[in-house]
Chains A and B, each alone.
Chain A
Amino acid sequence: MPITRDEVRHIARLANLEFSDEEQERFTRQLSAILDHVAHLDRLDTAAVEPTSHAGEDASPLRDDVPEPTLSTEEALANAPESARGLFKVPRVLG
């Protein structure tokens, strides 16, 4: 199944990624080849098959709703590229 340059641009926007023209061209080609391989799955009739989302034993066990120690504000901010007044600092949100 071929994927188009326009689709690659659309997916890049959804994924918050930016590409040069040359990268767009290469990704279009490579993703098309990979999707061709993935298309092999269409040979299987799976209409009556349940999906598997994980291979674990228990589905989402819950713990008691009791507060437990976690990172301090200082620890949580220690890796931030920019912070101020105990908060993560970012450029303006609205263009």
Chain B
Amino acid sequence: MSELTRIGARALRDRIAARAVSAVESVNAHLERAAAVDARLGAFTLIDEAGARTQAAAIDAAIARGEPAGPLAGVPIAVKDILCTRGVPTRCGSRILDGFVPPFDATAVARLRAAGAVVIGKANMDEFAMGSSTENSAYQVTRNPWDLARVPGGSSGGSAAAVAADLCPAALGTDTGGSIRQPAALCGVVGLKPTYGRVSRYGVVAFASSLDQVGPFANSVADVAVVLEAIAGHDPHDATSARRDPPRAREAEGGAQGIRIGVPKEYFAAGLDAEIAASVRAALARAERLGATVEEVSLPHTEYAIPTYYVLATAEASSNLARYDGVRYGHRAAGAETLQALYLRTRGAGFGAEVKRRIMLGTYVLSSGYYDAFYLKGQKVRTLIRRDFDAVFAKVDLLVTPTTPTPAFRIGEKTDDPLAMYLSDVYTVTVNLAGLPGLSLPCGVTGAGLPIGLQIVGRHFDEATVLRLGAALEADLGFRERRPRLPEQAAAGR
């Protein structure tokens, strides 16, 4: 396997900018890697070989003409199949979007291209981003590169697996309740959910509009910072996108000295795997040696986060998913004689079980007689959860928690128990409810060899401090030297 698939986004870009390597060579090396291993991983639902080579050739031509190389020039990137890609099918893990070819790029994708990145394919995901294991994809199973019998997490499981297995140095995902951070933790890569409003949601298939946010995966904090800088910033096409300049990647430098870290005691309570607790505690001890201070804090409404999330997210989803009616795009049921029958049959056949479950729950909590008891109640508890964070961020700069309560679970282990699956988001949903930035950083492996992630949460729009602690801890922990043991055929090339 080519060394180019192991050096990371910034080093790759620098070699391409210096014309030591061409963008076409970079793309070919990653396409070869994907051809060798992705049949067993299932990270990509679509690999756009021709499109990727065309993009790469255009970048090489521009560099040869003397034009400045973009900050991601020639870097292959996997894009979660929830982001629209012009001329490239976008199915969002759902049969109901089978055949949909977007006439435009999502803003985050357009900005990646403008930075010189090459979209090499669409990454598998739970249908409409609803899930924590990628098992809800209507198309395929994605396997964890560290143990092929286990899930990669979800919903952005394809993006995380692709980066962990070196199919691409970076990827885009989306995070509504943990869908970037949880798979990043389970696959041993770095994943960032930016502050709500930091990255445009234009061209992102909507799940829960008040919670959804686009963010990057990579094998290092610095690479995540470079991708964030490229995709962030105000976009007039998204009314919720913030009028703020993107955080600069170099702000991630500077070390942990003087950072005040809070450790919420509720995140280390019953249900947390003992190895994960020990690994996160060990990382906190390292942070202290690096000059940070650590103190225990309390987020008293933590136990209400999962029910609040599942009321609000499903309510928003039931409204957003009303648009899939078999009229304007995607799947249409055959043979319906009336419009009502067309709706029922199209949606009945086009949506999978988890999506239907959430539409039903969301419709229920919004329905007459239940709105106040569930939806309004959820919105009020959301206020209490936000206030918890406001109170602790008056005293500390960042929070550090485990990203997940357990390491990667077995494929099929939780598919029959939706509530057990929901509880795997227990440490991540609070951050979406409060709209904060959250990073998952690999901090160790279990005795069974599965990655462990810790989560760093910051104040609104303070990705810089989140990334700064992440980079300092990453350098100290040395996790990047550990790589998943992929199947033998792939390992032979290493």
| A contact residues vs B (CB 8 Å cutoff) | 3, 7-8, 11-12, 14-19, 23, 27, 30-31, 33-35, 37-42, 44, 46, 49-58, 60-61, 63, 71, 75-76, 78-82, 88, 90-95
| A30 close to B328 (CB less than 8 A) | no
Return chain A residues, CB-CB under 8 Å to B308.
41
| B363 close to A88 (CB less than 8 A) | no
Return chain B residues, CB-CB under 8 Å to A56.
196-197, 210, 240, 242, 435
Q: A49-B384, A57-B197, A79-B100 are in contact. Are A40 and B303 (CB under 8 A)?
A: yes
Chain A residue nearest to B364 in the complex (CB): A11
Q: How far is the CA of A86 from the CA of B418 in the complex (A)?
A: 43
| B contact residues vs A (CB 8 Å cutoff) | 99-101, 103-104, 196-197, 209-211, 236, 239-240, 242-243, 301, 303-304, 306-308, 310-311, 318, 322, 325-332, 336-345, 347-348, 351, 353, 356-357, 359-361, 363-365, 367, 374, 376-384, 386, 418-419, 422, 432-435, 460
Q: A17-B359, A81-B332, A93-B338 are in contact. Are A51 and B382 (CB under 8 A)?
A: yes
Return chain B residues, CB-CB under 8 Å to A16.
322, 325, 340, 343-344, 347
CB B418 to nearest CB in A, in angstroms, measures: 6
| B338 close to A92 (CB less than 8 A) | yes
Q: A53-B379, A93-B339 are in contact. Are A79 and B363 (CB under 8 A)?
A: no
Chain B residue nearest to A95 in the complex (CB): B338
CB A32 to nearest CB in B, in angstroms, measures: 11
Q: A55-B433, A56-B242, A56-B435 are in contact. Are A41 and B307 (CB under 8 A)?
A: yes
CB A64 to nearest CB in B, in angstroms, measures: 10
Return chain B residues, CB-CB under 8 Å to A95.
338, 340
Return chain B residues, CB-CB under 8 Å to A30.
357, 418
Return chain A residues, CB-CB under 8 Å to B384.
44, 46, 49
| B329 close to A51 (CB less than 8 A) | no
| B340 close to A18 (CB less than 8 A) | no
Please name 16 pairs of A and B residues whose Cβ atoms are closer than 8 Å in the assembled complex, sorted by A: A7-B364, A14-B367, A16-B344, A17-B348, A18-B345, A27-B356, A34-B419, A38-B310, A40-B307, A51-B380, A55-B210, A55-B433, A71-B103, A75-B103, A76-B328, A91-B341
| B418 close to A41 (CB less than 8 A) | no
Q: Which of B236, B322, B357 has the most A CB atoms < 10 Å from its CB?
A: B357
Q: A27-B360, A56-B435, A92-B338 are in contact. Are A38 and B382 (CB under 8 A)?
A: no
Q: Which 9 A-B pairs have the closest CB atoms?
A: A55-B435, A51-B379, A79-B329, A81-B332, A46-B380, A18-B348, A54-B210, A52-B382, A75-B103
